[in-house]
A = this chain, B = another copy of it.
Amino acid sequence: MSIVVQKYGGTSVADPERISAVADRIVATRERGDDVVVVVSAMGHTTDELITLAQGVNPNPPAREMDMLLTAGERISMSLMAMAIAARGVEAVSYTGSQAGILTDAAHGAAKIQAIRGTRVSDSLAQGKVVIVAGFQGVDPEGKEITTLGRGGSDATAVALAAALDAEACEICTDVDGIYSADPRIVPDARKLDEIAYDDMLEMAASGAGILMSRSVEVARRFNVPLHVRSSFNDNPGTWVKENTMEQAIISGVAHDSSEAKVTVRHVPDRPGVAASLFTPLAEQDVNVDMIVQNVSHDGFTDISFTVPTEAAETARGIAEKVAVELEAGEVDVDLDVAKVSLVGAGMKAHPGVAATVFSSLAAADINVEMISTSTIRISCVVRGDQVEDAVRVLHAAFDLGAEEA
């Protein structure tokens, strides 16, 4: 008998009615003959509500206690899910991250899974039970301190369990039907992908496609766990994320991200060590730098631009201005009104004309490209914020990614 891991996010378990509907799905999966392990997030807005409570008693709560608090959220959803399955005559048992043996490092609030130990999950499966595991949480290697995994943590729990149990697949059940060639809210004829390679999915995730976080895709790739991203609310097939896709598309899709700001340091003396003197203090302050662009210099000076999350823009400005003084560079600009559009596809490695088509299509639509960054399977352009949706549509059309062409 093979094992399927299903992960349900907060929207899918937001109230007793949705939990009951998900329980129907789980029981149906069980009755088709698979062993089922279910990973749940906290219900709906529970995590936000708990954070609000914490802020009400301490504006800067200790991370250890924050983890104690937040892990109550999945404890509630997991036990309710086990009850809902039991109401359908199928035995179910819920386990916390600690009980399921999800060992992490001790980094409260942003712990990384190190190993999955113990046999409670597999013992319960062997007894014919559906096993519910709390997502997003674990315990330190001594089994004493409770940790949380940070953003995307429930997906990470599900993929790690699927790897440890040698599951046939890890289903990420969510509120969309799968991975699309572009955001369907922007591109009406965006096509649901039947499958996408891990590498392409990683680039899509890093480029702003919000369905999966990079961390879970990375674990899935490392342990070759097939991911199936699909809707919690219907039985339609979704998108498979896996090692080698049958037909390697040239382009998988277009992603965009409006959550970054562009910082430019002008008139920087072009000498060795300049980049380090700027990006080392940014890293030390945990500012997550995405794109970095430095062009050739003129008369011994150059401009350096980089993007950071909008919420880190002011921190980045402060650091950049301090460094600029030290370097005797020019002024520092922070531009919040930018967005990034990315074209992703493993096939572009073998098709050298892709970049040219990107730039000419955007130019024909009068969209100015302010920064360019490429990997072997991705081309990202920073454009004005109010032009990003146009840019997504233009690229989606230019590469024939729409549903009619599928």
A: residues with CB less than 8 A from B are: 15-17, 19-20, 23, 50, 53-54, 56-62, 64-66, 68-69, 71-73, 75-76, 78-84, 86-87, 92-94, 99, 120, 144
Q: Name the residue of chain B whose CB is nearest to the CB of A82.
A: B65
Chain B positions within 8 Å of A16 at CB level: 53, 56-57
Q: Are B72 and A86 in touch, CB under 8 angstroms?
A: no
Q: Are B79 and A69 in touch, CB under 8 angstroms?
A: yes
- Bound: A57/B13 CA distance, A: 11
A72 to chain B, nearest CB (A): 4
* A62 interface neighbour in B15, B23, B65, B83, Cβ under 8 Å: B83
Q: Are B79 and A65 in touch, CB under 8 angstroms?
A: yes
* A54 interface neighbour in B68, B80, B93, B99, Cβ under 8 Å: B80
* A57 interface neighbour in B61, B84, B93, B94, Cβ under 8 Å: B84
**Among the interface residues A58, A59, A78, which one has the most CB atoms of the partner chain B within 10 A?**
A58
Provide 28 A-B residue pairs closer than 8 Å at the C-beta atoms, listed in order of the A residue: A16-B56, A20-B56, A20-B57, A50-B76, A53-B76, A53-B80, A54-B83, A57-B84, A58-B86, A60-B87, A61-B86, A62-B83, A65-B83, A65-B86, A65-B93, A65-B94, A66-B79, A68-B82, A68-B94, A69-B75, A69-B76, A69-B79, A69-B80, A69-B83, A72-B73, A72-B79, A75-B75, A120-B144
Chain B positions within 8 Å of A120 at CB level: 144
- Bound: A68/B83 CA distance, A: 11
A17 to chain B, nearest CB (A): 8
Chain B positions within 8 Å of A61 at CB level: 83, 86-87
Q: Are B83 and A58 in touch, CB under 8 angstroms?
A: yes
- Bound: A44/B96 CA distance, A: 25
Chain B positions within 8 Å of A73 at CB level: 72
- Bound: A20/B58 CA distance, A: 9
Q: Are B76 and A72 in touch, CB under 8 angstroms?
A: yes
Q: Are B57 and A80 in touch, CB under 8 angstroms?
A: yes
Given A62-B83, A66-B79, A80-B69, are A57 and B99 neighbors across the interface (CB < 8 Å)? no
Chain B positions within 8 Å of A94 at CB level: 65, 68
Q: Are A75 and B80 in touch, CB under 8 angstroms?
A: no
Q: Name the residue of chain B whose CB is nearest to the CB of A60.
A: B87
Chain B positions within 8 Å of A68 at CB level: 75, 78-79, 82, 94
- Bound: A82/B53 CA distance, A: 13
Q: Name the residue of chain B whose CB is nearest to the CB of A88.
A: B58
A-B interface, 6 closest residue pairs, ranked by CB to CB distance from nearest: A16-B56, A68-B79, A69-B79, A58-B87, A57-B84, A58-B83
Chain B positions within 8 Å of A60 at CB level: 87
- Bound: A81/B53 CA distance, A: 11
Q: Name the residue of chain B whose CB is nearest to the CB of A20.
A: B57
Chain B positions within 8 Å of A53 at CB level: 16, 76, 80
A62 to chain B, nearest CB (A): 5
Q: Are B23 and A57 in touch, CB under 8 angstroms?
A: yes
Chain B positions within 8 Å of A17 at CB level: 56
Chain B positions within 8 Å of A19 at CB level: 56-57
Chain B positions within 8 Å of A75 at CB level: 68-69, 71-72, 75
Chain B positions within 8 Å of A64 at CB level: 93
Q: Name the residue of chain B whose CB is nearest to the CB of A120.
A: B144
Q: Name the residue of chain B whose CB is nearest to the CB of A55.
A: B16
Q: Are B72 and A72 in touch, CB under 8 angstroms?
A: yes
Chain B positions within 8 Å of A71 at CB level: 75
Q: Name the residue of chain B whose CB is nearest to the CB of A145.
A: B99
- Bound: A24/B379 CA distance, A: 57
- Bound: A93/B144 CA distance, A: 13
Q: Name the residue of chain B whose CB is nearest to the CB of A15.
A: B56
A105 to chain B, nearest CB (A): 19
A38 to chain B, nearest CB (A): 13
